[in-house]
Amino acid sequence: MIGSHVAQEPATPPQHEAGLGERMNRLRAGVLGANDGIVSTAAVVVGVAGATDSLSAIATAGLAAVVGGAISMALGEYVSVSSQRDSERVQGLADHHLVNPWSAAIASFLAFLLGAALPFAAAVLTPVSARVVAIFALTLVSLSLTGALSAKLGGAAVGRSVVRVVLGGTLALGATFLVGSLFGSQL
C-alpha cells in the first residue's frame, strides 16, 4: 500500500496504569494525614500536659486539635490537589489520568483522625503520673509504624522512613513539652 497512510490512535495505557497516579495521590494524602494527626495532636496534648495536670484542659485542647487539624488537612489537600489537577488539564492529560482532589481530601481527613486518636487517647486515659511518658511512647511507636507502612506501600527504604518521622516527632514533642513546662509554671 504505497502512499496510503493509516492514522494510528495513541495507545491508551491499561486501566491499572491510569489509576496508579490516583492510588499514589491517596497514599501520599493518607500518609501525610496520619503523620500530621499523630504529631500535631501529640504535640498539643503533651504541651498542655507540660503546663497543667488538668484533664479538662488537656482534653479540650486535644479535641480542638483533632477536629481543627482534620478539617485543615482535608482542606489543604483539596486545594493543593485541585491546583495540581488544573495544571494536569492544561498539560492535556486525559480525565482518567487526572488526580482527584476529593479522594485526597477524604484520605487525609480520615487518616488524620485515625492518627490523632492514638495520642489523644493516651492523653485522656493515662493517669497523670504516666501521662507525658505514655504520650511520648505511643506517639513514637505510632510514627514508627506509620513510617514503616508508608515505606512498604511506596517501595522505599523502611529504616530511613522510620528514622525521619521518629526524629521529627521527637523534636515536635520535646519542643511543645518544653514550651508548656516553661509557660505553664508562670501562669
DSSP assignment of 40-53: HHHHHHHHHHHH--
Interval 58-92: pLDDT, tens: 999 999 999 999 999 999 999 999 999 999 899 98
Interval 97-142: pLDDT, tens: 888 999 999 999 999 999 999 999 999 999 999 999 999 999 999 9
pTM over 0.85, yes/no: no
Number of separate domains in the chain:
1
In a domain? residue 13: no
Nearest to 143 by CA among 116, 178, 124: 116
In a domain? residue 108: yes
In a domain? residue 8: no
In a domain? residue 23: yes
In a domain? residue 5: no
What is the distance between the alpha carbons of residues 139 and 42, in angstroms, rounded to a whole number? 7
Give Cβ neighbours of residue 143 (< 8 Å, ≥ 6 apart).
35, 38, 39, 162, 165, 166, 168, 169
In a domain? residue 138: yes
Q: Which domain holds residue 164?
A: 19-185
In a domain? residue 72: yes
